[in-house]
Structure 1
């Protein structure tokens, strides 16, 4: 068993330092944005506006075992504590009653929240944010296209217009143009196209490194890193996309994985079952991913975070704003809408040579049935865990469920 990745430790330390600096900036009068993970954060990066990713903050709260308290703050005010907990956790921060208990000093109140209008519950969460004093919700449409591209992951870097559709891109490009003007008027900051092009180029460099890392891990036997190291190593830099630090962090992650692969190092040398985890990270129990190594030789070799960084973000083109629209116009489709998502998961399962898939199905999951069906049709065993990734009250004994399934799959003591 290997020690923790230096890139994971460095990324976590960087995020703590950044968060402390950001809190000081906001206390000094800087605007703050709260943005969904699938929102065009590159605009804020270009304009020097600090932002916090909604779902990242929820993961920190869950890792600190604070989610029940935060959901309780919602329930006390008459809001449901059982719908879209991943997105609603940050909203509960607006009602914080004991800042001393809050992780990392607590989430400062944002001046703007940004997200797509995906689903009734999500829209209502943002509407409650909009009702808070000094907070504005800027909504982006969630559009769809009847035509579905085959093997979209091959088209996206350069042929994204073909993959997504011009009408859909026209809509989001127009929305982003209006959003930039709104930020300029309300913050006094200027959007520089020269700076924007630099940001977009750095993002593409970063994702090229992520693609190389994904392919290294897919080919390696045994798996060189733990999923719990891979997630911070790829995702903390993702939240800082468009910076040289993020680009260099992605390269350092790749180089560290390369060294382990070349040395034949595995996260668990007696690897007998290769598993794929589909769904959001199980933030309240990250030890879960390594719990079955000794008992079943089972190693999680895949999570969506590195894989979507490798396939979902690269966008080249002469029009940087339209390329940014292409990065996010179909982002949810890539992860959640069949056949976009289901075909991609089958491709990734085969690419990584997995023996089985553990599929976390939350109450708000979209397309989960089709994902499981596609994988099983491809001959890949699937265990569905019906639970929430931040709310430990749901799902029952996940450890026992997975252990029993692994016994059937052929794990157990060597």
Structure 2
């Protein structure tokens, strides 16, 4: 379990929060030790002085009349335990640090308690009991303790901390917004799409990065356009001599029919390779997405394949939701996978579809019952011009799976190959959906 976030946004907010927490703790301790503590020490010193005065005048052992006169003049009461309980000692609170300081100044053990009163100018009573006079309590009225209450200080520090963290969060969010836009644009470029230039905003460093990305995006787009134009030009120039060769082949004598058939097959293979080059360069970026049920495309392609009697397709389709797809591009994906399964696998294949509700995606797989592909070559066959079935005499340009992966990536999905435990190869791709 990670406690440190991975994103720069989360790390910055966490850093601000930690710094503010340290600042709050230091402020709290500083106020406590340099303002509140001296106030309480001064109060304890005054209480000890009052007790010393009472002890010096022997007021604890004086007659009740004399104690009454003393109370009227000073407000300090000398009470028995029973009287003390009746006048507020029962609801008092013991304070250890005050007892320790008063005991230290009196040079004898003392117990200090504080209770509140009503209807008096002095809202607090400090109760003091000395060890050598266990049958007497001294009640000293005092005011000003409420001014040293640390609850408002705590609330103040909490409010300041919350406001500071919220302000830092808004600031960092504003700083990271251009980074998020840059991330989305980079993902689009990785899929072969070219977003419009990003707005140059944020800090000076962020503006420079955005400007460099816009230039890179424009350069890659120009390179892609040049490559598509060059591929189309080369393909067009190659088709012209291929057409002339085919016409010349048609006029060959009948006794050379076997040569004629071989040349025509080679020309058809070359035309198919040229078509794949064009498809790989074009990427079908101009096609508009539309809501489509993948099962319908599978059934349509399966129906078209029934013209070949040697090929058999078994369907295992489940109910799946409609997806926003480029129909022609996805049909090309399915056609490539089916063609590879028949060409390099077996005459019997199984096409299945299902819904992964946990991951919110639709999964489609094409399985053949051939010898499969070596594990080390499973991912390499998706590279352009790579062929993973050299042992069986593969033909073609090696662009079929590269085109398939590019189309699936453009749909925010993924495509993989794996060998089935019972034999054969499984080509599987998934596409995300939203309810």
Smaller-chain TM-score bracket: under 0.3
Mark the structure with the bigger radius of gyration.
2
Which protein has the bigger strand share? 2
